[in-house]
Amino acid sequence: MRRNSKFIRLLVTLGLVVGIASCNSSDKKETSTQSAEEQEQAQKEQIVKDVKKVMYSLPSPVETTLLLKKAGAGYDEALLNPTSNANKYNTDKQKALNLGVYGADLSYASIFEQDQTIMQYMNVSKKLAIGLDLLAAIDQSIIDRLEANHDNRDSVIRIISETFLNSNSTLKEDNRPEMAALILAGGWVEALYLATQLTKDVKKDKELVERIVEQKLSFNELTMLLGEYAETNPDIADVASKLEGISQIFNEIEIEKSGIQTITDEESGSTVLKATQKINITQAQYDALKTASANLRNSFIQ
Amino acid sequence: MKNVSKLLVLVVSFVLLGTLSYGQCRTFAKTECKPSLEPYVHDGIFNATELSEGESAELYKTFYSNQNYRIAICGDKQLPKIKFSIMDADRNVLFTNAKHSYKRVWDFKMESSQQLIISIEVETNDENISDEIARGCVAVLVGFSAD
């Protein structure tokens, strides 16, 4: 009896260890001691070091395309990755990247209420999801709900967000976080591609250009996310290396920011984070970003 | 032979327990946490992990200007209170629920786009007299206004 109880305890302990390991892809490594002059920085680094797990969350393509519409972007169906291309995607890497690409196209079509396109892109997403053994992510009930609610933009957006959650949670549950990262990378690159293709002039399209340059912030999260797996996964390493071109351009574009002041409405409980920003970008820098994002995206969909 | 069988059971259990714990985390996030985001639209990203008392995690995310957001933090019932703080990129604390009765959701709007750090920490349970350390799933979900 005592031996059995010991055995069970051992199993539970090992299970916990696996649980921690599966959730803990980004446990912090030891860092070297900082000099006295950098004490404050060292304290902050120590806090980060003590944190058990670090997660990076990219913006949803639905959110990004919604922001683009608010900033004045239009709809151009010709920019989408044709659904006929899906037949070309044979490897898991191609399927995952393009599931992200189609997800962004689907989001873009949903924000602009393009009913027929939404159904086409949901169906092609389902095909790629099945190819990645993500049967539950986009099942027939989701297609049926989409058909039944096609004229309700809010419902359509919620259903699409649900498919994103299903995909990335299932992949993490199946211990395939690299695939989830590739899907997110595909979606992020497609959203940047759509945005840059819809915007030409840094002076005339000021608000849209600002939205695009702000992707520099989430680009940082994308590179950190891919960096978690780049050493062990050649597909991720390849995608991460292809982001270099965009990284160099973003590094040249300046975003000046003020400190943040918080103002809370005690009655509603809602808070406004007040801050200002100034973006410095030249037409040449913007054109370079537009070209780099098109080249990268086209390398994904070919 | 007996030892081989034991080892096999051990390895299978080892893998199963790990998978189950993550699976439970996923179900927890979807059923217990996502409804807290209403009426905001969930961004579709699954951010959840298992934590024990005293452990912490951080989520890095960019939030965009003139957009309304809700952050919802949820922890398994067996866990003590969960403290969450929102920090800017320089780790200046902008909000902490410890000063607001450990509330689980926070609504906010940004005037300029920023990368924020959402820090979550499972407090230690001082009232618990047993030696067992509570452990469970903690989910951090983000919703945005689709208006």
C-alpha A207/C-alpha A137 separation (Å) is 35
Whether residue A4 is contained in a domain is answered as no
* Strand ranges (E), chain A: 53-57, 254-257, 261-264, 271-274, 277-280
pLDDT tens, position by position, B56-68: 999 999 999 999 9
pLDDT of A11 = 46
Which residues constitute the domain of residue A177?
61-301
Of B21, B29, B45, the CB nearest to A58: B45
Bridge pairing between strands A53-57 and B56-63: parallel
Confidence class for position B36, pLDDT limits 50, 70, 90:
very high
Report DSSP state, residue B30: I
Whether residue A20 is contained in a domain is answered as no
Quote the tokens at residue A294. Answer: 């098109």
Q: Using CB atoms within 10 A of its CB, is residue A298 exposed (0-12), middle (13-18) or buried (19+)?
A: exposed
The series of mean pLDDT values per 10 residues for chain A, 302 residues long, is: 47 42 39 63 64 89 94 96 98 98 97 96 96 90 93 94 92 92 97 96 95 96 96 98 97 94 87 94 97 98 96
How many domains are there within chain A?
A: 1
Whether residue A98 is contained in a domain is answered as yes
Which residues constitute the domain of residue B137?
2-144
Report DSSP state, residue A37: G
Q: Least CA distance to A157: which residue of chain B?
A: B41
pLDDT of B2 = 56
With beta carbons under 8 A apart, name residues in chain B contacting A250.
Answer: none
The ipTM (two decimal places) reads 0.82
On whether any CB of chain A is under 8 Å from the CB of B26, the answer is yes
Cα A2 to chain centroid, rounded = 50
With beta carbons under 8 A apart, name residues in chain B contacting A271.
Answer: 95, 106-109
Of A57, A161, A270, the CB nearest to B60: A57
Whether residue A77 is contained in a domain is answered as yes
What is the CATH number for B41?
2.60.120.380
pLDDT of B4 = 55
8 Å CB contact of B26 and A172: yes
C-alpha B117/C-alpha A243 separation (Å) is 24
B interface test, pick of A23, A46, A219 with most B CB neighbours within 10 Å: A23
In this structure, which amino acid lies at residue A284?
A
What value does the mean pLDDT of chain B take? 86
Whether residue A50 is contained in a domain is answered as no
pLDDT of A270 = 85
Q: A82 Cβ partners below 8 Å, 6+ apart?
A: none
8 Å CB contact of B111 and A10: no
Whether residue A46 is contained in a domain is answered as no
pLDDT of A135 = 83
Whether residue A18 is contained in a domain is answered as no
Of A175, A184, A275, the CB nearest to B111: A275
Of A67, A170, A277, the CB nearest to B112: A277
Whether residue A47 is contained in a domain is answered as no
Average pLDDT over residues B25-37: 91
